[in-house]
């Protein structure tokens, strides 16, 4: 098991950098602060949290 400090996906994630399943990267800081952008950020965070729960349950 990788340590969190060594896991590049973890480090990217805490900086708001998400990778899609096809390898593209989305930077949550670059999508702005409009109400729509905030909804996208919330949805992305919810999906990441749900995925994390699948790993620990």
Q: In sequence order, what are the beta bridge partners of 19?
A: 25
Is the C-alpha dihedral spanning 7, 9, 13, 15 positive or negative? positive
pLDDT at position 2 is 56
Show me where the domains of the chain are located.
4-56
- Which tokens in the block code for residue 49? 């949290």
Give the chain's residues under pLDDT 50.
none
- Which tokens in the block code for residue 57? 């349950």
pLDDT at position 18 is 85
């Amino acid at each position: 098991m990788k340590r969190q400090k060594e896991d590049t996906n973890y480090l990217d994630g805490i900086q708001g950098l998400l990778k899609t399943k096809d390898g593209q990267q989305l930077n949550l800081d670059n999508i702005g602060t409009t109400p729509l952008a905030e909804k996208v950020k919330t949805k992305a965070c919810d999906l990441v949290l749900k995925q994390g729960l699948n790993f620990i349950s």
